[in-house]
Amino acid sequence: MLVYGMEKTSEYRVFRHIRKKGILRPKELKPLGVRQETLWRLYRKGKLERLGWGVYGLADRPVTAKHSLAQAAKKVPNGIICLLSALRFHDLTTQAPFEVWMALDRKAWLPRPGPGLAFRFHRFSGEALSAGVEHHVVDGVPVRVYCPAKTVADCFKFRNKIGFDVALEALRDCWRERKASMEELSRYAKICRVANVMRPYLESLV
- Grouping H, G, I as helix, E, B as strand and the rest as coil, residue 171 is helix
> Do residue 16 and residue 103 come from a single domain?
no
Q: Using a CB cutoff of 8 Å and minimum separation of 24, what contacts does 90-98 make?
A: 90/145, 90/148, 90/151, 90/174, 90/179, 91/177, 92/148, 92/151, 92/152, 92/169, 92/170, 92/173, 92/174, 92/177, 92/179, 93/166, 93/169, 93/170, 93/173, 95/166
* Pairwise pLDDT comparison (52 vs 175), residue with the higher score: 175
pLDDT in tens, 118-135: 899 999 999 999 999 999
d(CA 19, CA 7): 14
pLDDT of residue 5: 45
- The model's confidence at residue 8, banded by pLDDT at 50, 70 and 90, is low
pLDDT of residue 197: 97
> Do residue 130 and residue 167 come from a single domain?
yes
Residue 108 forms part of a structural domain: yes
Residue 1 forms part of a structural domain: no
**Is the pLDDT confidence value at 92 over 80?**
yes
> Do residue 164 and residue 88 come from a single domain?
yes
pLDDT of residue 38: 83
Domain that holds residue 103: 76-203
> Do residue 53 and residue 86 come from a single domain?
no
pLDDT of residue 69: 92
> Do residue 49 and residue 81 come from a single domain?
no
- The model's confidence at residue 153, banded by pLDDT at 50, 70 and 90, is very high
> Do residue 30 and residue 119 come from a single domain?
no
The radius of gyration of the chain from alpha carbons, rounded to an integer in Å, stands at 20
Mean pLDDT of 83-95: 91
d(CA 175, CA 173): 5
